[in-house]
Amino acid sequence: MGFFNIFVIVLVICAFFIANTYQLQSYEIQALLQLRKHLEYPVQLDVWENYHGDFCSLTSTLHMSINCQDNSVTELKIKGDKLVKLNEFHGFAIPNQTLSEGFSIDSFVTTLTRLRSLKVLTLVSLGIWGPLPDKIHRLASLELLDMSSNFLFGSVPFQMSRLIKLHTLTLDGNFFNETFPDWFDSLHNLTILSLKNNRLKGQFPSTISKITTLTDIVLSHNVLSGKLPDLTALSKLLLLDLRENHLDSELPPLPKRLTTLLLSSNIFTGEIPVEFGTLNQLQHLDLSNNSLSGMLPAGLFSLSSISYLNLASNVLSGSLPSHLNCGGELGFVDISDNRLVGVLPSCLNTISDKRIVKVGGNCLSLDTQYQHSEGYCKQANSDKKRITGKEIALLTGVIGGIVIVVVFLLVVLLIFRRKRHAHNMVDKHIPPKVVQSTQPVPSGLLVNAKNVLQKSLNSIFKFSGVISQVANTGSQGAPSYRVFSMEELLEATENFDQSALLGEGSVGKIYKGRLENGAYIAVRSLNVYRRYSNRNLKLRLDLLSKFRHPHLVSLLGHCIDGGAPDDSTVPRIFLIYEYISNGNFRAHLSGQLCKTFSMSISSVLMLG
C-alpha cells in the first residue's frame, strides 16, 4: 500500500513538471531573435546568443525575463541601460543614447506582433526611438504595457483604444508632444495610467472620469492646461499626480479614497475646499507653488492618516486657530511663503524630532524663522485686490477695442462691396463696340465654324477641368516620403507572389501591392549591379524623393534589402510608387488617345 502511494505521488510530480514545461513555437523563437537584432544586440540579451534550449526555461534576471503558457510567450520584460538624459529630442538618432539611424520602430513593432499571446510587455531604457505605430493594437491580449524611458514622440496612437484588456499603461519619460488623448475611456479595465515626464498638451480630458476602474493617474511634468474636472466618480482612485503642468482652475471635488494628492507647480486659484478636510485616507498632500488664497482649512492638519502636508508658496491668508489639532501621523508641514498672520498653534510650534515644520516668509508672531511684519501681509493682500481690479479693467478695455476694430472692418468691407457692385452695374450697361466687316461671308460657313468652335471649346474646358482637379489634388495631398520595412513589402505583395507581378524589365521587376491602410502601391525591385555604398545610395534616394509634380507618379519611399550598418555595399533596393491604373502615358498617346480625345485635347496634353 505504501509503495502504491509513493508511485501515485511520483506520477503527480511528473505530471506537474510536464504541465509546466513549454516548448515554444519555432516562429516565436525566430521573432525573439529578430527582436534582439532590432534592439542591436543589447548585453542584457547576450544569454540568447547561440542558445538552443527552451527559451521558456531561461532563468529570469533583473533585466530580462520570459514567461510562457501553452507553448507561447505571454510575458516579455527587457530593461536596458540607455537612460534618457536630454531635455529636448528632435526625432533623429543620437549616438550612444538612442538606437542607430538604421533602427525602424515600424519593423520592430511588426516583429513584436508575431508574439500574439503577449499579456505583459516591458521595454524600458532601450533607446527605442520614433513615433509609436498604430499596429501596436495587434497585441490584442496585452494587459500591461511599459515602454518608459525611451525616445518615443508624436502622439499616443488612437488604435491603442482597441486594447480593451489593458489594465496598466506606462509611457513615462518619453517625448510624446501632441494633444493628450481623449479616448482612454475606451479602456474599461484600465487601473494605472502613467504618462509623466512627456510633453503632452491640451486640456485634462473629462472622459477620464468615466474610467471607474482607475486607481492611479500620473500625468506630472507635461503641459496640460485648463480646468481639472470633477473626479468624484473615480471611487477607486488612490493616487492623483498632476505636478508641474499649467492647470489653472479652482480645485474640484475629489474621491474619498485618495491617499496621495500631488498638484504642486500649477496655477490653481481660489480657496482650498473645506471638503479636503474630510479625506480621511489622505496621506500625502502637496498643493505648493500655486495661487491658492483664503483661509487654511483646519481639518487638513487633523486628518488621521496625513503624514506629509505642503501648502508653501501660495497666497493663503488669515490666522490659524490656536486650538488646532495635528494628526498623530503628521511628520512634515510646510506653510512657508504665504500671507499668514497671528500666533502659530502649539502643535506646530513645539520642537520635536518627529515633525518638521516650515513657516518662514509669513507674518506670524515668531522669532525662530524669518517673518515679515504683519503690515506686509495686509498690504500684499490689498495690493492683490487692486491688481485684480486693474486686470479686470484692462481685460474689459482689450475686449472693447477688439469689438470696435471688428465693427470698423465690417463697415469698410460693406462700403467696398457696394462700390464694386455699382461699378459692375455701370459696365453692364455700356454697349459693346461692334466692328462690321466689309467682306460678305456665307451664312453656312459661319454656322459650321460656330459649331466646330463650340465643340472644341467644350472639350478643352472639360479636359482643363480634369487637369486642374488633378493638379489641385497633387499639390494638396502629396503623400510623404518614408522608409519602408521589408516586412511591410512582403505583407503588401504576399511575399512577392507571381500574381502580383505587373511587369519585368532589364533591371528588375514591378509588383502590385496593398498596404495595411488599404492603399495600393507599385513596388519596383532593382538589382544594383554597380557597387554603391549604403551612404551614397541614400544620398541619391534623398534626391529622388524631392521630385514632386501633379503630373508625375509620386515616389512614396524605398527599402534597402541587405544593407549593413557598417556602410557596406547594397545588393538590392526596392522603390515604392503610387499605383496608377489604366496603363502608361505612352500607350495612350500612341494607341488610344486618338480614339478617346479630340485633337484639341491632344494639343493641351502635349503642351502640358
Residue % of the chain over a pLDDT of 70: 76
Rounded to whole angstroms, how far apart are CA atoms 103 and 129?
8
Q: Is 543 helix (H, G, I), strand (E, B) or coil?
A: helix
Indicate if the pLDDT at residue 422 is higher than 80. Answer: no
Going along the chain from its start, the domains and CATH numbers come out as 22-266+279-286 (3.80.10.10), 268-278+287-393 (3.80.10.10), 482-607 (3.30.200.20)
Q: Dihedral through CA 27, CA 28, CA 34, CA 35, nearest 10?
A: 160
Instruction: Please check the confidence at residue 15 and state whether its pLDDT lies above 50.
Output: no
| pLDDT of the residue at 438 | 42
Select from 237, 224, 296 the least CA-distant residue to 267. 224
Task: List beta partners, residue 316.
Answer: 294
Residue 474 pLDDT greater than 70, yes or no: no
> From CA 181, how far away is CA 202, in angstroms rounded?
9
pLDDT value of position 482: 85
Phi, psi dihedral angles at 493 (to 5 degrees): -105, 10
Compare 118 and 498 and report the one with higher pLDDT: 118
**352 compared with 83, residue with greater pLDDT:** 83
Higher-confidence position of 584 and 513: 513
Confidence class for position 607, pLDDT limits 50, 70, 90: low
d(CA 264, CA 284): 12
Neighbours of 595 (CB within 10 A): 7
pLDDT of 431 over the 50 cut: no
Query: Rounded to the nearest 5 degrees, what angle is found at the Cα of 227, between the Cα atoms of 221 and 231?
Result: 90
pLDDT of residue 375: 82
pLDDT for residue 22 is more than 90: no
Exposure class string for 158-175: b at 16+ Cβ within 10 A, else e: eebbbbeebbbbbbbbbb
Distance in angstroms between the alpha carbons of the first and the last residue of the chain: 100
Dist. CA 332–CA 191, nearest whole Å: 30
Q: Is the pLDDT of residue 470 over 80?
A: no
The confidence band for 340, taking pLDDT boundaries of 50, 70 and 90, is very high
> Does the structure show a pLDDT above 90 at 315?
yes
Report the range out of 20-34, 171-185, 362-376, 382-396 with the highest average pLDDT.
Answer: 171-185
Of 345-349, 581-585, 594-598, minimum mean pLDDT range: 594-598
Considering only CA atoms, which of 280, 276, 323, 278 is closest in space to residue 296? 276
Model pLDDT, residue 599: 57
What pairing do the DSSP bridges indicate for beta strands 339-342 and 501-504?
Answer: unpaired
Banded pLDDT at 484 (limits 50, 70, 90): confident
Answer with the residue of higher pLDDT: 545 or 204: 204
Q: What is the pLDDT of residues 165-215, one digit of tens each?
A: 999 999 999 999 999 999 999 999 999 999 999 999 999 999 999 999 999
* pLDDT value, residue 436: 42
Q: How confident is the model at residue 467 (pLDDT cuts 50, 70, 90)?
A: very low
Grid cell, residue 356, equals 518638521
Residue 322 has pLDDT above 70, yes or no: yes
Q: How does DSSP classify residue 581?
A: -
Q: What mean pLDDT comes out for the span 359-386? A: 77
Supply the pLDDT for residue 538.
74
Determine what percent of the chain is predicted with pLDDT higher than 90: 50
Does the structure show a pLDDT above 90 at 272?
yes
Average pLDDT score, the chain? 82
Amino acid at 266: N
Measured in whole angstroms, how far is the alpha carbon of residue 321 from the centre of its chain? 49
pLDDT for 574 beyond 80: yes
State residue 10's pLDDT score. 52
* Burial profile 424-449: b = 16 or more Cβ within 10 angstroms, e = fewer: eeeeeeeeeeeeeeeeeeeeeeeeee
Q: Let me know: does 293 contact 314? Beta carbons within 8 Å.
A: yes
pLDDT digits (tens, 9 = 90+) for 90-147: 999 999 999 999 999 999 999 999 999 999 999 999 999 999 999 999 999 999 999 9
Does residue 220 register a pLDDT over 70? Answer: yes
pLDDT of residue 435: 40
**Residue 456 above 80 pLDDT?**
no
The widest CA-to-CA distance across the chain, in whole angstroms, is: 136
More confident residue, 84 or 9: 84
Contact 283, 262 (CB under 8 A): no
